[in-house]
Amino acid sequence: MTDVDPNLGRRLSNRYDLVSLLGYGSMGRVYEARDMLLGGVPVAVKFLSQTLLNNRMRQRFEREAMTCALLGQRSIHIVRVTDYGVNEDEIPYYVMECLKGQNLSEIASRQSLTIPRFLSLIRQICLGLQCAHQGILIEQEVCPIIHRDIKPSNILIVQDESLGELAKILDFGIAKLLQEDAGATNCFMGTLPYSSPEQMEGRELDPRSDIYSLGIMMFQLLSGKMPLHVDTHTFGGWYKAHHHQMPRSFQSVNADLKIPKVLESLIMSCLEKSPGDRPQSVVEILKALEPLEQRFGTGRQIGQRIGEALSKVQVTPHQPTDRISGSTKGVCALATWPKTMPIADIVFPNLIKTDEGHQATLWVMLPHDEIQKRASCTRYNQFLFLEAPHPMMLWLTVLYSTLAGPKWMPSYLDLKSPQGQQIARVLCNTGEYKILLFSQENPNRCASMLTSTIADPQRRLMQVWISTSQLSNTTSHASLSKNILKAELEKLKPKVLMKLESIYNTVDQDLSG
């Protein structure tokens, strides 16, 4: 008969009902719980594996937990911590977002990763590490955060309906916390096969230690084998391996494995014994991955991701008139086509200032007859995001009517530029935008104005995209990202059109009936 877990069924801190055990390891146990203060929202609660024996340790834990919480707000690739505390037995815990997925250890145990999938996940992990290594401002001091336990089981892979596979790093700062608490007993905290030589020595660590662990993990994910081998799984055995054993080559562990030489060299450089011989920052790794992603990664995967996003069409059927505030209406009435823009069938985004604040607008020029045909139309919008090779958002609007068919109005926002970020923020905050229609025959005044609303899930995603873009160091290849989005949109237009026609016909029947 198995022992009953005493935590199951209890309420923690008069708030979290512990429902089931999700997993356990050297760091502690993780439970699925319900946050009763928020109406039973699912969360994950992690109890650390040892008690807090004094106030100094309690303060250190609170600092580390707060740091994890701040990191999770800055990067979508770090699991978000929402609360922390200590139970009646002085065992520390922290509360995280509850995510459904698998860790990389479970995924890699079934089969080695393909090159495109590997590149996508490693880039995301690097973005999370980059955010941590850059540091968090705490009490007017920038505190760089070293993970100290990068390994496949600490990387959670979840499915995002727009971004596809999303990698999230677990347990930031916890290894350091436990190691300092165990310092008096000379206890090593970490995972032996993934620990850097300097970590085995108990030295003060910097980002290059995480890079070494990342190199071990990258080798394993591609080959299914570890680059180092020991006869006995002991501290002494791994100490010798990390300090003196040369890493095996990919060919030696699998002669049939085809790894690009550039990628193999990058991974081997991460496995150098001396920190000074490794890449000195995660930024260097991200730069080295860029040409590989262009060759193997983004272009082959983005079509599927965009296709799935486009299948969830946001439609505003038949709205012949718009209620707008006087201040917005006044600005639109005074709007004239910019002299810097050609008199042609084009579309561009713009911000206009009203008494109520900034308003996002889409300026469109069409022949007068076409504007007349679209006085009553179905409106569709979708926002798609491409993180690599350059953060770019496609802002797609379609006006559809049986008289004129679809009018495709794509606009592209560079989310590394201040203007692109500002427009995206306004769209996210207001949840709507105005479509200003100008006729080619009389561009001196706005001929018509429509309103298009943005679905709440899209607004939440947009906020994530803005944050992701701010953390990205990519400063090139904007045109490549734009061209990828353009090409994939062309492939998917027939699918969107079928959806619009189906919805439009249904609406017609309802209205006429």
Active-site amino acid positions: 149
Cα angle 111, 104, 155 (rounded to 5 degrees) comes to 165
Q: Give yes or no for a contact between 377 and 289, defined as CB atoms under 8 angstroms apart.
A: no
Residue pointed to by tokens 């108990």: 202
Cα torsion for 481, 487, 491, 492, to the nearest 10°? 40
Residue 414 CA to chain centroid, in angstroms? 17
Cβ pair 343, 367 in contact under 8 A:
no
Query: In degrees, to the nearest 5, what angle opens at C-alpha 104 toward C-alphas 101 and 110?
Result: 100
- Antiparallel, parallel or unpaired: β 141-143 and 136-138: antiparallel
Rounded CA-CA distance 183/186 in Å is 5
Strand 41-48 and strand 101-103: the pairing is unpaired
CA distance 414 to 366: 25
Contacts of 163 (CB under 8 A, 6+ apart): 305, 385, 387
Buried/exposed code over 23-32 (b: 16+ C-beta within 10 A; e: otherwise): eeeebbbbbb
Distance (Å, whole) CA 239 – CA 457: 49
189 vs 200: CA distance, rounded Å:
9
Q: b/e string for 462-493 if b means 16 or more Cβ within 10 A?
A: bebbbbbbebbebeebbebbbebbeebbeebe
User: What is the number of residues in the chain?
Assistant: 513
